[in-house]
Amino acid sequence: MGPSQDTLLRSADMSLTQLYIANEIGREVVSALGELGMVQFRDLNADTTAFQRTFTNEIRRLDNVERQLRYFQAQMEKESIEMRPSSEFANTLAAPMASEIDELAQRSESLEQRIFSLNESYEVLKRREVELIEWRWVLREAGGFFDRAHGHTDEIRQSLDNDEAPLLRDVEHQHPSRRQTDDVQHQPSFSVMDIGFVSGVIPRDRIGAFERILWRTLRGNLYMNQSEIPQPIIDPSNNEGIQKNVFVIFAHGKEIIAKIRKIAESLGANLYSVDENSELRRDQIHDANTRLSDVESVLRNTKVTLDAELSQIARSLAAWMIVVRKEKAVYHTLNQFSYDQARKTLIAEACHLDSLRKEIIQGLIYNDIFSRSLEIFPSAWQWPQDVQLGETVSATLKGNYRYPFGLDWGWHASSNNLLFTNSFKMKLAILLGWSHMTYSICLSFLNARHFKKPIEIWGNFVPGMIFFQSIFGYLVFSIIYKWLVDWPARGQSPPSLLNMLIFMFLKPGSVDEPLYKGQAGVQVVLLLLAVIQIPILLFLKPCYLRWEHNRARALGYRGLGEISRVSATDEDEHEPHGSTRHSMTSDAEGIGMITQDVGEEEHEEFDFGDEMIHQIIHTIEFCLNCVSHTASYLRLWALSLAHQQLSIVLWKMTLNNGFSAESSTTRVILIIVTFYVWFTLTVAVLCVIEGTSAMLHSLRLHWVEAMSKHFIGDGIPFTPFSFKILLQENPVD
């Protein structure tokens, strides 16, 4: 097994562990492993349906408990009762005993019945309260309707007997004289005139449709009064207020009255009985008020009791939900285990990582901070002493002394600073890119050796390395050679490396500005080496794999590897091929053997066409990426240039003005003011914005440009059994 740092080269190596767990402690062991969150269990019962597994009944029971807890949570949200946050329990809850789970199930059952009973009583009382409120409004408004109706008996008769009478007469806003009101008692009863009436309450948004339906159904043979209820009526089902109207409809005949009732009820109206006699109506109003007061008193007591119960539950609900979710996860995991009937033992297979290690590397290259140079070592350049303002001078080197590390700070004061640093940073970016990608290609060799695949070394690593070094390794050699040569001493201007690389392909064997003697021949040889590697990359690996496959078939090993067995010990023991994963055999010494069948997905037939297509894609990608990825490293130069120019601008526009002031008092004030401006802009622009940009660029160079040369990610996602991950993905709050 490879070391832990090999996870940077390929998918992480995992250890496959086989666990033999006594059935009595299986739940406790899995719960402890879930707290650690370091192992991923394999499903040893993949061919078994969920309903046929061992712990299905326990999971169903926990599902029911979880449903009850969600019911409690919904009731608390309805009553605006806050639940104690789960963060107070997540890291303090110990694994509960099985008896505690049973106790929780029984307690949640009794609490559900209690809450449901209180809720049902509260809703029944609330509906009764709404009915009494509506009945009271009908009694109040109907009194005026009846008084006005007695004063318009002839009009009602005309409305009922004449088909051409006006549409529903609404006399709500009519104001009869006091004399008519006083004579109401002397008017004949509606029953004597064979006139019936229907009274009730209907939602205000349906009153228009109600009137139209009545008119078209009864052909205008009715007399209707309506009045708006100023206060909204609370709907007990959703606690939302609904605007409603009171109505009283007079009609002739029992059949018409029955039709009116059916139409009203179909539109959601609530019908209430009202007595025609005013004295009896006053008694009804008094009765409604008394009953309403009693209902409100019982409602308050029920609400207090319900809130007290829910508040008590809210203190522990989050803890209960965490416990139930953990228990469900434990039993789901136990259902993946195989069971040895003879030994009463659970058998599990689990994968886990070895270890992890992180490294951080920092460096110093350009020798500046906030656009100011760091004079760590003496400069290698010497400037004239007597210099006049505005005079152009040239610096000279100090003998054989050279700046030990990084960029000489003397360049920061020169007029050709930008020209030099641009060239230096561009070439340095190419050097870094070449070294990074060369290192990554070398890592592919370690991968091939780790997986014991020599064809990967000779078919991919060797030709790929030769191709890359023949072109870009030669470019790096040319950059370093150009830096080392004293071109003024030769009396020759340094040649352009960009033109050299372009004409190496366009005009092989011809060099206009030679860098060294024999350059044309060297470039032709390197170009031929690079071109020869392309067919090697294309054909060597697929042809070798085909030859190896044909040789294996000729030897009769077509089915080799279709059946594999994992022994419980390190000794080489053999069992009959008829055993399966779920069967357990034991010998006299008590050594068990599990035989697992490798499915079709783990044994693929060799296909030369697929291998060839895969290799063609790999070759094209590698050759093109050598060019594009090298160019991508120029982003290091672009970032450095942008950061340098931003630093210079921020310095000159802020602190430099403060230091340039002539008066000492003004200089101190300006330095204090401009410092805060400079500091704020530097942190916001350079540290935050540009720092984030640089981080993203560096991530891309690592993930794409470097890792594409070596990383093998053909493994499966590591999803360990972890209570922490479970609660993060499905929080109980």
What's the sign of the alpha-carbon dihedral 140, 143, 148, 154?
positive
Write down the pLDDT at residue 531.
Answer: 93
pLDDT tens figures, 238-297: 778 889 999 988 888 888 888 989 999 898 898 988 877 777 878 888 888 889 889 889
Out of 171-180, 261-270, 675-684, which region has the weakest mean confidence (pLDDT)? 171-180
The Cα 380–Cα 376 span in angstroms is: 12
Out of 114-123, 265-274, 368-377, 531-540, which region has the weakest mean confidence (pLDDT)? 368-377
What's the sign of the alpha-carbon dihedral 363, 366, 367, 368?
negative
Average pLDDT of span 564-591:
39
Average pLDDT of span 650-672:
82
Write down the pLDDT at residue 669.
Answer: 86
Does position 704 have pLDDT exceeding 70, yes or no?
Answer: yes
Does position 571 have pLDDT exceeding 50, yes or no?
Answer: no
Identify the CATH class of 141-291. Answer: alpha beta
Residues 730, 686 contacting (CB under 8 angstroms): no
Q: How is the chain split into domains, by residue range?
A: 141-291, 425-558+618-632, 634-708
Q: What is the percent of the chain where pLDDT is above 90? A: 12
DSSP line for 388-443:
-TT-----EE-TT---SSSS-GGGGGSTTHHHHHHHHHHHHHHHHHHHHHHHHHHH
Q: What are the tokens at 547? A: 């030859």
Write down the pLDDT at residue 177.
Answer: 40
Average pLDDT of span 625-634:
84
Does position 182 have pLDDT exceeding 50, yes or no?
Answer: no
Out of 20-24, 367-371, 504-508, 568-572, which region has the weakest mean confidence (pLDDT)? 568-572
pLDDT tens figures, 382-393: 666 665 555 566
Average pLDDT along the chain: 77
Whole-angstrom CA distances from 5 to 13, 355, 358, 359, 727 are 10, 9, 9, 10, 30
The secondary structure of residue 520, as a DSSP letter, is H
Please count the other Cβ atoms lying within 10 Å of the Cβ belonging to residue 694.
Answer: 17
Number of residues that make up the chain:
733
Write down the pLDDT at residue 547.
Answer: 92
Expressed in angstroms, the distance from the first to the final Cα of the chain is 43
Does position 394 have pLDDT exceeding 60, yes or no?
Answer: yes
Write down the pLDDT at residue 668.
Answer: 86
The Cα 610–Cα 616 span in angstroms is: 10
Residues 670, 657 contacting (CB under 8 angstroms): yes
Write down the pLDDT at residue 413.
Answer: 64
Out of 13-17, 28-32, 469-473, 622-626, which region has the weakest mean confidence (pLDDT)? 13-17
The Cα 118–Cα 313 span in angstroms is: 14
Write down the pLDDT at residue 567.
Answer: 37
Does position 596 have pLDDT exceeding 80, yes or no?
Answer: no
651: closest CA among 258, 368, 325, 255?
368
More confident residue, 380 or 248: 248
